[in-house]
Amino acid sequence: MIPDMKHEFRKPVPYRITKKIREAYLHELAQNPVKTRAARIAYGLDPNCKSYVYNTFNDLERSDPEFAEQIAQAIRQGYERVEQRAMDLALNGSVELVYNRNGDVVGRKEHCYERTILFLLQNGLPDRYRPKSEVHVEGHVSSDTAGLTIAPQDLLLLNRDERKQLISLLESIAAKKATPVEEKPRGSQFLPRAGA
């Protein structure tokens, strides 16, 4: 028989936020703008541990507008630091030491971060470095016999080769319509009948 056990489920007690912990949280956010990591470090926990300490800060942020503004300012500072580090890596690269089997330094590799440079330029000077993705299509095609009307944007439904093929066909049709074609007699239907 299973003994009758009554479980009493309690709501988890939120972590207590002292002035010192609050300052540590804001300081960590200014260093690294990840809220969950900053909350764990503020409480002296391992930054990678599974903990719900962030919820306590989240609740306080919602209830205290002054603290919410301090958090926003600290996060801005943190992202400025990230931006400075990215810019430094983009301009100067980084150096990785190369070791032999004995653990002795035998050389170094320099890494350049072209993608970081491109990302920073595209976002910092978008009018000069952001790729252009503008497509301009003009024209109108309609066919009364088939009941088909093609709008310019419909051409974008086709892949590049299909568009080239369609444009070639349309140009061919337009060229043939521009120069009148004389009907040439075919077969015996245009030959005079004997005895007529």
Residue 60 lies in a domain: yes
- Same domain, yes or no: 86 and 101: no
- Same domain, yes or no: 82 and 30: yes
- Same domain, yes or no: 68 and 41: yes
pLDDT of residue 192: 52
- Same domain, yes or no: 98 and 43: no
Would strands 105-111 and 141-143 be described as parallel, antiparallel, or unpaired? unpaired
Residue 160 sits in which domain range?
141-178
pLDDT of residue 69: 95
pTM of the entire structure? 0.50
Residue 14 lies in a domain: no
Burial class of residue 25 (count of CB atoms within 10 Å of its CB; 0-12, 13-18, 19+):
buried
pLDDT of residue 1: 47
Residue type, 23: E
Residue 34 lies in a domain: yes
- Same domain, yes or no: 25 and 68: yes
Which secondary structure element, helix H or strand E, spans residue 106, and what is its range? Answer: strand 105-111
- Same domain, yes or no: 26 and 47: yes
- Same domain, yes or no: 36 and 79: yes
In the block, tokens 């500072």 appear at 77
Residue 192 lies in a domain: no
Residue 11 lies in a domain: no
Residue 6 lies in a domain: no
Task: Say which DSSP state 7 is in.
Answer: -
pLDDT of residue 136: 65
The residues, any chain, with a CB within 8 Å of residue 90's CB and separated by 6 or more, are 113, 116, 117, 120
Residue 189 lies in a domain: no
- Same domain, yes or no: 66 and 123: no
Computed from CA positions of residues 122, 89, 42, 66, in that sequence, does the dihedral angle turn out positive or negative? negative
- Same domain, yes or no: 108 and 169: no
Instruction: Give me the number of domains the chain comprises.
Output: 3
pLDDT of residue 183: 54
Per-residue pLDDT of the chain (196 residues; tens, 9 = 90+): 455 555 454 444 456 888 999 999 999 999 988 898 999 898 888 887 877 788 888 888 999 999 999 999 999 898 888 888 888 888 888 888 999 999 999 998 888 777 877 777 777 777 777 777 666 666 666 555 556 677 777 777 888 888 888 888 878 887 887 765 555 555 544 445 555 4
